[in-house]
Amino acid sequence: MAIREGEVQEFTLEQLKHLVSERALRGETILLNMGPQHPSTHGVLRLLVELDGETIVSIVPDIGYLHTGIEKHCESKTYTKIIPLTDRIDYLSPMSNNLAYVMAVEKLMGVEVPLRAQYIRVILTELQRIASHLVWLGTHALDIAAMSVFLYCFREREMILDIFEMVSGQRMMVSYFRVGGLWRDVPEGFEDAVRAFLKLMPSRINEYERLLKRNPLWLRRTKGVGVISPEDAIAWGVTGPSLRGSGVNYDVRKAQPYSSYDHFEFDVPLGENGDVYDRFMVRIEEMRQSLRIIDQALRRLPKGPYITPDRKVTPPPKEELAWSMEALIHHFKFWTEGFSPPPGEVYHAVESPRGEFGVYINSDGSPKPRRVHFRAPSFVNLQALPIMAKGCLVADLVAIIGSIDIVLGEIDR
Amino acid sequence: MGAVKEPMAVMAGQKTGEMGVALTTLEEALEWVAAWGRTRAMWPLLFGLACCAIEMMATQASHYDLSRFGMEIMRASPRQADLMIVAGRVSRKMAPVVRRLYDQMTEPKWVIAMGDCASTGGVFNNYAIVQGVDEIIPVDVYVSGCPPRPEGLIEGILLLHEKIRRGQIRLSR
Amino acid sequence: MSIQEVVEAVRARFGEALQEVIEFRGETTLVVRRESLVELCRFLRDAPACRFNFLSDLCAVDYWPDRPRFAVNYHLYSLPHNLRLRVKVFLEEEDPVVPTVTGIWPTANWHEREVYDLFGIRFEGHPDLRRILLPEDWEGHPLRRDHPLVVEPVQFSFNWREIDSRKPYVKE
């Protein structure tokens, strides 16, 4: 290892003083540790909270308790074998991660994806968005002591997971998208299952909204809490519903459409005040818009191949292996050696349920990437937490953390 | 239990005149009662690490309903918990925290390693992940899967109940 | 407003400091000298032709064993013009220091800490340059390409003594 001595910096108390205010050093404010094992930090987030009575003066987030080394691990795998690792970055929306990654590789290879595969990708990613928002709504409401919503949300989430299991064989870590298309075509009964879901879901979303929207306790806990201005949100790189809650119209699906999102009609819901309530309403409305997209995609789902015929990035069909020697050799070479993209670098972003999820791939022309980097939306959004929470009560902190919808898996990667 | 056993045994012996037989029966009866109590209200620690934590939540939620087994109360404080479900990958930075949480739990305590990452490190054989939580704390039941289905976790929990029912009452492990 | 106009504006303003313009798969990369990075970033954010007010991502690449060894990428996005641009700075192995851009985009704060943590590239003028993902007492920078992927042997049986002796970090 070429690590030079003296590169590890030891920190003295002097150097860490700037993290808290002067008053903390004089003992006028309290320093409170929250996490990494805490019921409402949504994982293993640790916060050092400086309190003046019950009012938050400053917050120092401490992350890395789930650092998995995925980016390093990607460098030792071929391009196809990285797909299962991307599932585990943001474990609430594996479909979006898969999509971002395979689209980046497709960009690098210059591969066209068949329209049917693009539409199925859209359907599944939007289902994933609803599933992710359901988990968010359930846990967020649970944090603010609205227990029953949690049970309702997980009831509907099971329907989506059943559809995922139907197409991929797994409930959560699907790894369904492949470079150039999909793992296989959707099975019989997929369309019926999605239609049944589409039929049921609007009334269920109304139900969640009725439970919370006019609930006085909910309003007292969320209105005017955790405000972030549009200027601050842009400067701190906040994306996704947290940005749109402040009224900034930036959605990657609209701004730079990918995977034929421009074929579908949908609105981007915007908030006005940038508080917890607006972020809540934006997400609720987003679920409805996702249903709209799924409906259109399902109606217009074209027939055709589900994966590109370009054999450079796809293995040969299973049946060919029985009679074609070339196919057998190709199959072997594909899974052992992989394919080699041209040297270069690409960045591709998709709109994950939490915001702009970007994948940066740097290729050196060999079958393994030189560097893969994931731009995780939660990582950036969490940075804005101290700004949102400043001046709020400590009890509001759990509401604010819930409203940013962080997933520690993608923060720490 | 050690303090209780002796006077009970003496009492039983005085009544029946046959000390040995009564001792084993009574001890067995006591063990049965203790195991019954332990399995019927086992409170897990509310502690999720990664992907498996979402399936753990799904296990508790409406569809799978863990409260059928008397386990719906997740305790956020390790002092009140009997069972630690290590749900997810344990990183090097998290390892001391997991160990401290385990140490803070009161006896008797059990550990379920949920999922491949907690059992063996899973797909992440790299610098950041502890290769199985059994490298830092003792594990009673391993549940495979990445992540395990809720049915898998429930099976693991029932397996642990079975283990407790068959095992002996011990103060420390 | 197109990306060509942005490149022309930058070329007119900076000239020599702009080392190279790379076009690949429809993405534009500006390779700049380290000395003029901050000035260029400020220009890109504020000039009406550019308005790159959003720093999407910041990451480093290790080109080991090639030289120059490190590169830092800035992925910029312009909300008003809907454009993406990558700015790239190459760094030598002996001197992995780059000026911070936290003064221009505050969001760079954690990104730069992450790069420092995983690559050991230092950001001059950063307000709070500490490790962010790895434990504070970690030695080395794992995402460098000469760092091994696996650093610790696996233990096959449970033994408190062995754990305490071989994994001191567990005991805090």
pLDDT band at residue A295, thresholds of 50, 70 and 90?
very high
Please state whether the peptide bond connecting residue C68 to the residue before it is cis, i.e. omega within 30 degrees of 0: yes
Which chain C residues are Cβ-neighbours of B138 within 8 angstroms? 158
Q: What is the DSSP string of C5-35?
A: HHHHHHHHHHGGGEEEEEEETTEEEEEE-GG
CB nearest to B93's CB, from A65, A70, A91:
A65
Give residue limits of the domains in chain C.
3-141
On whether any CB of chain B is under 8 Å from the CB of A34, the answer is no
Q: What is the pLDDT of residues A55-108, one digit of tens each?
A: 998 898 888 888 988 999 999 999 999 999 999 898 999 999 999 999 999 999
Asked whether the predicted pLDDT for residue B59 surpasses 50, the reply is yes
Interface of B with C (CB under 8 A): 92-93, 95-96, 99-100, 121, 125-128, 131-132, 134-136, 138-139
Closest-CA distance of chain C to residue A54, Å: 27
- Given a cut of 80, whether residue B8 has pLDDT beyond it is no
Q: From the list C150, C154, C163, which residue is nearest B127 (CB)? A: C150
Q: Is B95 at the interface with chain A, CB within 8 A? A: no
Q: H helices of C16-107, where?
A: 37-46
Q: Smallest Cβ distance to A43: which of B48, B61, B123?
A: B48
Low-confidence winner among A10-14, A264-268, A282-286, A316-320 (lowest mean pLDDT): A10-14
Residues of B in contact with A71 (CB under 8 A): none
The pLDDT value given to residue B152? 92
pLDDT at B108 (0 to 100): 83
Pick the range with the lowest mean pLDDT from A255-269, B70-84, C59-73: B70-84
Q: How confident is the model at residue B96 (pLDDT cuts 50, 70, 90)?
A: confident
CB contact under 8 A, C132 and A63: yes
Q: According to the model, what pLDDT value does residue A1 have?
A: 32
Q: Can you tell me the mean pLDDT for B17-46? A: 73
Report domain C3-141's class: alpha beta
Question: Which pLDDT score, from 0 to 100, does residue A7 have?
Answer: 46
The 10s digit of each residue's pLDDT in A232-250 is 999 999 999 999 999 999 9
Per-residue confidence (pLDDT) for residue A372, from 0 to 100: 93
Which chains share 3+ C-beta pairs under 8 angstroms with C? A, B
Could you read off the pLDDT tens digit of each residue along chain C, which spans 172 residues? 788 888 888 888 888 888 888 888 889 999 999 888 999 999 998 888 888 989 999 999 999 888 888 999 999 999 888 999 999 999 998 889 999 999 999 999 999 999 999 998 999 888 888 888 888 888 888 888 888 887 766 666 666 777 777 777 766 5
A393 secondary structure, DSSP code: B
Distance in angstroms (rounded) separating the CA atoms of residues A102 and A35: 35
Q: What residues of C are in contact with residue B96 (Cβ under 8 Å)?
A: 169-172
pLDDT at position A239: 92
Q: Model confidence over A161-210: pLDDT tens digits?
A: 999 999 998 888 889 999 988 998 899 899 999 999 999 999 999 999 99
What's phi and psi for A401, nearest 5 deg?
Answer: -60, -45
Give the per-residue pLDDT at C71: 92
- What SS3 class is residue A46? strand
Helices C3-14 and C37-46, axial angle in degrees (round to 10): 130
Question: Which residues in chain C are closer than 8 Å to B99, comparing Cβ atoms?
Answer: 170-172
- What is the reported pLDDT for A30? 86
State residue B128's pLDDT score: 87
User: Average pLDDT in the B80-95 region?
Assistant: 89
Residue B13: predicted pLDDT: 47
- Secondary structure, 3-state, chain B: CHHHHHHHHHHHHHHHCCHHHHHHHHHHHHHHHHHHHHHHCCCEECCECCHHHHHHHHHHCCCCCHHHHCCCCCECCHHHCCEEEEECCCECCCHHHHHHHHHHCCCCCEEEEEHHHHHHCCCCCCCCECCCHHHCCCCCEEECCCCCCHHHHHHHHHHHHHHHHHCCCCCCC
Cβ <8 Å between C79 and A71 = no
CA-based nearest distance B156→chain A, Å: 18
C27-38, pLDDT tens digit by residue? 999 999 988 899
Residue A122 has pLDDT above 70, yes or no: yes
Quick one: what percent of chain B has pLDDT higher than 90? 9
Domains and CATH numbers, chain B: 39-166 (3.40.50.12280)
C-chain residue closest to B136, CA distance: C163
Across the interface, do A68 and B124 touch by the CB < 8 Å criterion? yes
The chain-wide mean pLDDT, for chain A, equals 88
B2 part of contact set with chain A, CB < 8 Å: no
**What ipTM did this prediction achieve?**
0.89
A161/B62: higher pLDDT = A161
Q: Which residue segments constitute the domains of chain A, with CATH numbers given?
A: 13-62 (no CATH), 70-308+341-412 (1.10.645.10)
Which residue of chain B comes nearest to A90, CA vs CA? B51
Distance from CA of B168 to the nearest CA of A (A): 31
Which of A17-21, A41-45, B32-36, C117-121 is modeled with the greatest confidence? Answer: C117-121
Q: Are strands C18-24 and C27-32 parallel, antiparallel or unpaired?
A: antiparallel
Q: Reply yes or no on whether the pLDDT at B20 is more than 60.
A: no
Give me the pLDDT at residue A244, please.
Answer: 92
User: Which of B51, B58, B89 has its CB closest to that of A173?
Assistant: B51
- C111, C128, C148 ranked by CB distance to A18: nearest: C128
Q: At residue A8, does pLDDT exceed 50?
A: no
Specify binding-site residues of B for [4Fe-4S] cluster. Answer: 51-52, 117, 146
The reply to whether B63 touches chain A by the CB within 8 Å rule is yes
How far apart are the CA of A120 and the nearest CA of chain C, in angstroms? Answer: 25
Distance between A380 CA and the closest CA of chain C, angstroms: 7
Is pLDDT of B6 > 70?
A: no
Given this model, what pLDDT does residue A136 score? Answer: 92
Neighbors of chain B by Cβ distance (3+ pairs < 8 Å): A, C
Q: What type of residue is B137?
A: I
Residue B70 has pLDDT above 50, yes or no: yes
> Are A157 and B53 a contacting pair at CB < 8 A?
no
- Chain A: list its partners (3+ Cβ pairs within 8 Å): B, C
Q: Among C3, C22, C52, C59, which would you mutate to test the A interface (most chain A Cβ atoms within 10 Å of its Cβ)? A: C59
Hey, which residues does A357 pair with through a beta bridge? Answer: A350
CB-nearest to C132 from A7, A64, A236 is A64
Nearest to A39 among B46, B51, B146 (CB): B46
pLDDT number for residue A129? 93
Report pLDDT for A2. 36
- Band of the pLDDT at A3, cuts 50, 70, 90? very low
A14-28, A150-164, A347-361, A394-408, range with the lowest pLDDT: A14-28
